[in-house]
Amino acid sequence: MLQYLIGASFALGIYLILADYLRIPFFTTSKSLNNLTVRQKKKTSAIDIWLKDFALWISKHIRMNEYRRMQLQIDLQSAGITLSPEMHMADAIVKFLLVGLLAIPVAFIFPLLSPVIIVLAIFVYLKAYKGVADKIKAKRKRIEYELPRFVSHIDKTLKHNRDVLYILDSYRENAGEDMKQELSITAADMRSGNYEAALTRLESRVGSSMLSDVTRGLVGVLRGDETDAYWTNLAMKFADYQRQLLKAEAAKVPGKVKRLSMCMLVCFMLMYVVVILMQIIQSLEGLFL
């Protein structure tokens, strides 16, 4: 018992010395700052705050070339992640270390599992680091799913109003969360600068070919071109795309129903088998008795 107490005291002393040397803030300071700067729906645990402080310390020692940093910064902004590129990479490294350190005790208990833990840690790191691309793809898909309704709104509004900013503001009130965010950024950009440049930046942020068709048509409206036929054709094209998406979603349903039906069929068959076996056993017991 005394050895455990000495070991725990030694570990605590080493931690306090390293925390002071590395200028890691106290837990109460980090918690107060976190509550002041971040609006959260749930309470932050002590482990989360310590991991965040550790990631912040790692981020100060990460060096990235300017092109890579700029590209990652654009991706983080597109995904709606309010982290610096260094902090995002530091978070991925912390997750890698959390999983990778499990390989040390596993090496003593079951050495064959250590390589599996290391591979899992690498997978967790890649998943955390490249998760931005998955979020951008999901966001782009949600925006593209809403574009048919947006194009229909543009087509109807242009018949009585050709103000592009008004069109964006009027649709933004009933838009989805991702579309509303992008339209809000674009509207603010248009109010403070050039309309065409704002639409171009919207197109580059989302990175959707469908949205490129929409922005191309809006630029034509800004230049005074006759675009009635363009919007009518685009509305029909996007409506066909939406029907294909709905058909693809509907096609997934029979597969799920078939799997559930097979499970129910197996359950019914097992019930009949159990009943038949019970009857056979009871009949054999009657014969022997």
Q: Which residues are CB-neighbours of 172 under 8 A, at least 6 positions away?
A: 179, 180, 183, 184, 187
Measured between alpha carbons, how far is residue 93 from residues 84, 223, 244 in Å? 14, 49, 41
Q: What percent of the chain has pLDDT over 90?
A: 1
Q: Is residue 30 part of a domain?
A: no
Measured between alpha carbons, how far is residue 288 from residues 275, 282, 283 in Å? 20, 10, 9
Q: Which of 110, 129, 148 is the last residue of a domain?
A: 129
170 and 218 housed in the same domain: yes
Q: Is residue 218 part of a domain?
A: yes
224 and 145 housed in the same domain: yes
Q: Is residue 15 part of a domain?
A: no
Are 93 and 105 within 8 A, CB to CB? no
Residue-level pLDDT at 24: 53
Tens of pLDDT, residue by residue over 5-36, are 665 565 566 656 665 555 555 544 444 544 54
Q: Is residue 182 part of a domain?
A: yes
CA atoms within 13 A on the CB side of 18: 8
Between 193 and 28, name the one with better pLDDT. 193
Closest CA to 89 of 67, 63, 66, 70: 63
- Hey, which of 40-49, 95-104, 181-190 has the most confident mean pLDDT? 181-190
Q: Is residue 24 part of a domain?
A: no
Enter the pTM of the model: 0.60
Give the chain's domain count.
2
Whether 249 has a pLDDT exceeding 60, the answer reads yes
Q: Is residue 6 part of a domain?
A: no
Residue 51 lies in domain? 45-129
